[in-house]
Amino acid sequence: MQIFRNKGILLLKMTSKKIMIIIAIIAFIAVVLVVFGFWHSVLSQENPPLPAARVTVGSAVFSAEVARTAIEQARGLSFRAGLGQNDGMVFLFGSSTVRYFWMKDMNFPLDMIWIGGGSPSPIFQNKISEGSQGKTWEGKVLGFAENAAPQPGTPLWKLKIYSSPPGVDAVLEVSAGTVAKDDIKIGDTVEISST
């Protein structure tokens, strides 16, 4: 860029390549802002009621909504008032790995039960969400995070992150205190079946 002064007026002489770079940067920033705004508006609302599955952990039985899409999983139980005593939400993933959860926009504390045992296949996930009878997936409790507390008004970058052990392909969220009340232990068998 070259700067010329002519009778008190500042003139800029830029090459077309530099102008294109500036336009590209502005366009990129605009796209990022639009995507962020859309993503924020999608996540800033409660999940509608999702299809339920029967989840058995040891001897405890839960009716759990099934979160299987990325948006359903990102929303989770956010904005809900609470859970019934034997209600929950189960997150089914297509692979086994370390999972990270937070309490964004939550209104009540939770226990998170980390489950592994061979990824629930997409076919199983679809059958559960379609309500097909008799479909069952089995795994084991690999660990849990108990009494995860809501963090109202906390900026995203300051929210506590709850990490699972490796090998998790499903997560069950239930009311805080459930793990202790139902004496859920690492190694307990988990069955997820359509209702």
Query: What's the mean pLDDT in 106-117?
Result: 94
Residue in the structure block whose two tokens are 């800029």: 12
Does residue 162 or residue 24 have the better pLDDT? 162
Domains and CATH numbers, the chain: 2-43 (no CATH), 52-194 (2.60.120.1140)
Q: Is the separation of the CB atoms in 110 and 173 below 8 Å?
A: yes
3-class DSSP string for 55-69? EEECCEEEEEEEECC
Quote the pLDDT of residue 70: 86
Please check the confidence at residue 63 and state whether its pLDDT lies above 90: yes
Q: pTM of the entire structure?
A: 0.74
Angstrom distances, CA of residue 84 to CA of 23, 36, 126, 146, 176: 53, 33, 25, 17, 11
Q: Would you report the helix, strand and coil content of the chain in percent, each value rounded to 5?
A: 25, 35, 35
Please check the confidence at residue 11 and state whether its pLDDT lies above 50: no
Bridge partners of 88? 64, 174
Q: Is the separation of the CB atoms in 54 and 192 below 8 Å?
A: yes
